[in-house]
Amino acid sequence: MYKKEIKVMDCTVRDGGLMNKWQFSDEFVRAVYKGCVEAGIDYMEIGYKSSERAFSRDEVGPWKFCDDRDIRRIVGDNNTNLKLSAMADIGRIDTEDIPPKSESVIDMIRVACYVHQIDKAIFLAEHCMDKGYETTINLMAVSKVNEPELDQALNDLSQSKVPTVYVVDSFGSMYCESVEYLVKKYLKALPGKKVGIHAHNNMQLAMSNTVTSLIHGATMLDATLLGMGRGAGNCPIEVLIAFLKNPKYRLLPLLDVIQNQVKPWQDKIDWGYHVPYLITGALNEHPRSAMKWMDSEKKDDFVAFMKEMHDYELLE
Amino acid sequence: MYKKEIKVMDCTVRDGGLMNKWQFSDEFVRAVYKGCVEAGIDYMEIGYKSSERAFSRDEVGPWKFCDDRDIRRIVGDNNTNLKLSAMADIGRIDTEDIPPKSESVIDMIRVACYVHQIDKAIFLAEHCMDKGYETTINLMAVSKVNEPELDQALNDLSQSKVPTVYVVDSFGSMYCESVEYLVKKYLKALPGKKVGIHAHNNMQLAMSNTVTSLIHGATMLDATLLGMGRGAGNCPIEVLIAFLKNPKYRLLPLLDVIQNQVKPWQDKIDWGYHVPYLITGALNEHPRSAMKWMDSEKKDDFVAFMKEMHDYELLE
């Protein structure tokens, strides 16, 4: 599947950090960075850009803030071809928390938002562009959005300066047909813009949904080492790179960081395919109830979880 | 994805047995059987039908032979809607080892073969049909077969009485496009016959390749509980049933047997997605070298395995 316009983004630290509150050692983050550089990956998302007022450093690690001093400790001035990204959540950052690009080693700020926040997201993203950053808007949880609301959001986006919009399968509930539909819809509604894909693996479809998106025109592909990410995790970057067979990428440096840094984390936290995540995915629900279940002593009682989820569904 | 002609086959004991030499307790096999009955699954493959002369019961469990006495200990006369299947490998069974259907609780015999064995496979399958069984032919390792050889085999199959032919992704090396191509090719070459799919999960595509096959006309779908099967395992039946949303199937009985019987096995044997299986899948190689690696102390040294596989590839 050779397309020269493909860009792969590693989100291991950002999305994986949702499972350990970004409590990664500098050694871990440096190894991911080095692996991505050597593998020829295009972007690495090193965390969230959040206001220090929104979270406490007593609870979350430095990659929840992406302060330039923390990042430079890992990457120096980043004199490589790997671009660095940070994600900004609406409401958890103020425009004054974002330095001009000339003062930052970050290249891209991706604004994550729900459909009702689209105006705020466009405002923030255009603000970041004015400060010199590349930007994207990542429209979350679209599997629960009514079509007219999505159409309105896409219309607003089409009139914005933001060059890239992501299809985000927040709940891991999408099948190939829904992904194909949305990628085509976004491309049609957003002439001249690029479309990205961010998949979750609840139904073991993260890799195939990423490939389906690519086939239908998405060019920004999110993935993580060993699929490390919230709940069922993401498209595994090693599977994607093995598939792409693109001469600009190398698999071996990724396997190195997986075996030395990422795999050991799997003994500590349960990301990846587990039945509770399948159940929330199949029900098109946020994975938080499955994550709570996986943290409890009942984690392997799948029958009880399914019964609870059905009750929960009926109560809503 | 509602199609009334869909048939789902659980292969947990047969394919999962490749990982533990079919050393399942009667309690395990009975729980799988009961779960399949209650879930409304169409077929359960309970093992291999092999000659007692081909293997020793000191080394392999009873499900390598599928003697009717062993099966009846689990299912009695099987007065249920669940049909029972056994797989026969060419060269490991003689026609005299197969009793008439009137003496057996087995409903279907699936003949697995490589493309060069197609004449023997058709002979054995038609022999089984004459004895009263349903049959299929499962054409293995087609990802390594030259097109003219495959065309010849399909031509032979089209002239046989065998009603169902499987696309088998033995090495877990197929992408959606190859699966779509093969399913369409088989359906075209085999007018009036049904096509099945048996997928492996080396590249985390077993579930999506099964869905792709279904979309393009395959109606016999193989899957296993928690994906239990050789190497990277198979399409997980719980994910498939959650996807199908077909009123004839129930998810809860499958979750029950997964949590009580199948999940505990995962602490003992490493089926499922692991990087060595990704590497053999991406290289379109038999998983045996990855299975050997996973059984060694070097199992988590992915870099060394990849280097070894590349050497191995160059030597061939």
B187 and B107 assigned to the same domain? yes
B307 is in which domain, residue-wise?
275-315
Report which of A185, A272, A166 is spatially closest to residue B204, judged by C-alpha positions.
A272
Is the residue at A184 inside a domain? Answer: yes
A208 and A257 assigned to the same domain? yes
A112 and A171 assigned to the same domain? yes
* SS3 at position A43: strand
Tokens found for residue B123: 């002979």
Q: What is the pLDDT of residues B43-86, one digit of tens each?
A: 999 999 999 999 999 999 999 999 999 999 999 999 999 999 99
Last residue of a domain, one of B243, B266, B289: B266
Q: What is the pLDDT of residues B204-231, one digit of tens each?
A: 999 999 999 999 999 999 999 999 999 9
Residue B73's domain is classified under what CATH number?
3.20.20.70
B207 touches chain A (CB under 8 A): yes
Give the pLDDT score at A315: 44
B117 and B228 assigned to the same domain? yes
Is the residue at B307 inside a domain? Answer: yes
Is the residue at B2 inside a domain? Answer: no
How many domains does one find in chain A?
A: 2
What is the percentage of chain A residues whose pLDDT exceeds 70? Answer: 97
- Phi, then psi, of A84 in degrees rounded to 5: -105, 140
- The CA distance from B114 to A9, in Å, is 40
B92 and B151 assigned to the same domain? yes
B170 and B229 assigned to the same domain? yes
A211 and A69 assigned to the same domain? yes
A104 and A232 assigned to the same domain? yes
In B257-316, the residues whose Cβ lies within 8 Å of chain A are 258-259, 263, 273, 275, 278-279, 282, 300-303, 306-307
Tokens found for residue B89: 């490998």
B287 and B161 assigned to the same domain? no
- The CA distance from B193 to B213, in Å, is 15
Tokens found for residue A84: 């660095």
* Length, in residues, of chain B: 316
Measured CA distances, B135 to A13, A51, A165, B45, B128 (Å): 51, 65, 50, 12, 7
A293 and A159 assigned to the same domain? no
Q: What is the pLDDT of residues A135-181, one digit of tens each?
A: 999 999 999 999 999 999 999 999 999 999 999 999 999 999 999 99
Is the residue at B171 inside a domain? Answer: yes
In B100-139, the residues whose Cβ lies within 8 Å of chain A are none
ipTM value for the complex: 0.93
Is the residue at B1 inside a domain? Answer: no
Is the residue at A233 inside a domain? Answer: yes
Give the pLDDT score at B313: 52
Give the pLDDT score at A313: 52
A180 and A289 assigned to the same domain? no
A307 and A262 assigned to the same domain? no
To probe the interface with B, which of A239, A277, A283, A299 has the most B CB atoms within 10 Å? A239
Q: What is the pLDDT of residues A245-274, one digit of tens each?
A: 899 999 999 999 999 999 999 989 999 999
DSSP B183-245: HHHHHHHSTT-EEEEE-B-TTS-HHHHHHHHHHTT--EEEEBGGG-SSTT-B-BHHHHHHHH-
The answer to whether the CB atoms of A204 and B236 lie below 8 A apart is yes
Is the residue at A77 inside a domain? Answer: yes
